[in-house]
A = this chain, B = another copy of it.
Amino acid sequence: MKSTVQKNSQTGVAVVHTRTLAGAEKCLPLPGAELGSEHEAREEQSTMTDYKTNLRVKLPATCIVLEVIIIILFATLVEYDHDTDAKHWHEEMSKHNKSNYENEFYFRYPSFQDVHVMIFIGFGFLMTFLQRYGFSSVGFNFLIAAFSLQWATLMQGFFHGMSEGNGKIHIGVESMINADFCTGSVLISFGAVLGKTSPVQLLVMAVFEVALFAINEFILLSALGARDAGGSMTIHTFGAYFGLMVARVLYRPHLDKSKDKNSSVYHSDLFAMIGTIYLWMFWPSFNSAVTAHGDDQHRTAMNTYYSLAACTLATYGFSALVSPEGKLDMVHIQNAALAGGVAVGTAGEMMLTPFGSMIVGFLAGTISTLGFKYLSPVLEEKLRIQDTCGVHNLHGMPGVLGAIVGAITAAAATREIYGEGMEDVFPDVHSNNITASMQGVRQAISLAVTLGIALLGGLIVGFILKLPIYGSPPDTICFEDGIYWEVPGEEGAHEEMTTVAVEDVEKPLNG
């Protein structure tokens, strides 16, 4: 009894250094361990303020230099497009007898805002499930997204826009949506390396990934003439496999030193649900944001709506099924329930039919849930891929599924079904340049190209990111805000108290 009290206060003294102690204790429940971990604690303490992770010079330099470069490039290359430029729009109105409500803004802006919410709230909060990494999840998501959308405007504009001639990049609401899409891809990769990277490292990753995304997107949509409005291939497959390869190269054999922080607490799981629900609700807007006007946007949104609904039931069903106690797992709900949106990213604009969408969503939810349960452990142990958020299950496999579904649905397209609407969905088939099955082949090739560029690109960028110059965290304090953020004391402290509490009381039970 008395000893408990001593332990209590002693532990109290120790744990305040760092949260890892409690975890360490759990592994080695010996008195000696305490000293060991107290020692370890001090060491980490020093690491905390170590020059290696001090970003006082690196982060400001990176942010400011990148922004200055972007501003210069915008000044020289970027112009308002015809719907945003005061002079041109008014000329267009008088010339083509247009009215203001024909401005692209009214067709796309509501969808843009929904996509915007997915990028900043959806992705940002989805990653707050980690108990001590909420600031970084939302905060780094915010930083790299704000950078990527500017950089993407230039990279995508360079490949797509430039072709339009006069050597300028013309921007408007559609380019804003595409920039957000490209950003989404970077955030997917972020999910794979979450907790193990410094903000500088993430910005450097974004610099390269955005460029590679733009190249891949250009090859698929312009060169190969593939269709991928919702980005099953360009966004999800690319982002996932690029990120997984980076995670592979950045593999940390001793990451288990931080494993007690690589988990959620009650409130952090609720914050994550904010991200999940927003992604789920607005996915119909995501997939339909850049499809053709009229029936295309309408149909794409509806197909996605039903795919997600079916996906959710599959996720709940299989989540309970794979649990011995039949209990639901937040990890599945937070992620697998979204796979239905990923899987109709390509076929959503096609005449997939509502029940077709449901079947795709149901399959996506199933493979995603099973992936979390059975595949992720294998990836980590055998392939040495430490996929923090399980992006392989949410974006990787469902993205590939979506690409395949897209290829099949395209190959099955007939004028009988699409009528004059064929022109919007498959212009080359409509103009008899190619057959529908050829369009299906294009889609299949596009998947292969995407996988190739993503894996190769991730490999190269992974090695660039491995350089010891970005202030990435040591194995002992990954998944920890304290290393890059001023973290308020109390909450941190009370987490200690609770961890301590757990052991004090567990002992008598175990004993």
A36: which B residues are within 8 A, CB to CB? none
- Report whether A265 and B418 are in contact in the complex, using a CB–CB cutoff of 8 Å: no
Query: Looking at the complex, which of A5-13, A233-241, A381-389, A441-449 is the stretch in contact with chain B?
Result: A5-13
- Report whether B67 and A358 are in contact in the complex, using a CB–CB cutoff of 8 Å: yes
- Report whether A295 and B113 are in contact in the complex, using a CB–CB cutoff of 8 Å: no
The closest CB in chain B to the CB of A271 belongs to: B270
A337: which B residues are within 8 A, CB to CB? 142, 146
A318 vs B67: C-alpha distance when bound (angstroms)? 13
- Report whether B301 and A358 are in contact in the complex, using a CB–CB cutoff of 8 Å: no
- Report whether A497 and B491 are in contact in the complex, using a CB–CB cutoff of 8 Å: no
**A121-B277, A359-B71 known; A490 and B498 CB under 8 Å?**
yes
- Report whether B327 and A486 are in contact in the complex, using a CB–CB cutoff of 8 Å: yes
Question: Dominant SS at the A interface?
Answer: helix
A298 near B: Cβ within 8 Å?
yes
A55: which B residues are within 8 A, CB to CB? 320, 326-327
A422 near B: Cβ within 8 Å?
yes
A496: which B residues are within 8 A, CB to CB? 501, 505
Query: Looking at the complex, which of A103-111, A214-222, A250-258, A460-468 is the stretch in contact with chain B?
Result: A103-111
Query: Looking at the complex, which of A27-35, A90-98, A185-193, A392-400 is the stretch in contact with chain B?
Result: A90-98
- Report whether B420 and A90 are in contact in the complex, using a CB–CB cutoff of 8 Å: yes
**A9-B5, A107-B106, A494-B497 known; A299 and B15 CB under 8 Å?**
no
Contact among B83, B318, B354, B488 for A80, CB-based, below 8 A: B354
A362 near B: Cβ within 8 Å?
yes
- Report whether B150 and A309 are in contact in the complex, using a CB–CB cutoff of 8 Å: yes
Query: Looking at the complex, which of A128-136, A223-231, A403-411, A431-439 is the stretch in contact with chain B?
Result: A128-136
A110: which B residues are within 8 A, CB to CB? 109-110, 113
The closest CB in chain B to the CB of A102 belongs to: B101
A162: which B residues are within 8 A, CB to CB? none
Whole-angstrom distance between the Cβ of A172 and the nearest chain B Cβ = 6
A80: which B residues are within 8 A, CB to CB? 299, 302, 351, 353-354
A432 vs B289: C-alpha distance when bound (angstroms)? 41
A160 near B: Cβ within 8 Å?
no
29 contacts between A and B (CB under 8 A): A9-B504, A12-B504, A16-B502, A49-B325, A56-B324, A59-B320, A60-B318, A70-B310, A83-B295, A83-B298, A86-B420, A88-B295, A89-B295, A103-B294, A120-B277, A121-B274, A121-B278, A135-B328, A143-B316, A146-B308, A147-B313, A149-B309, A150-B358, A176-B302, A199-B328, A266-B488, A489-B502, A493-B501, A497-B498
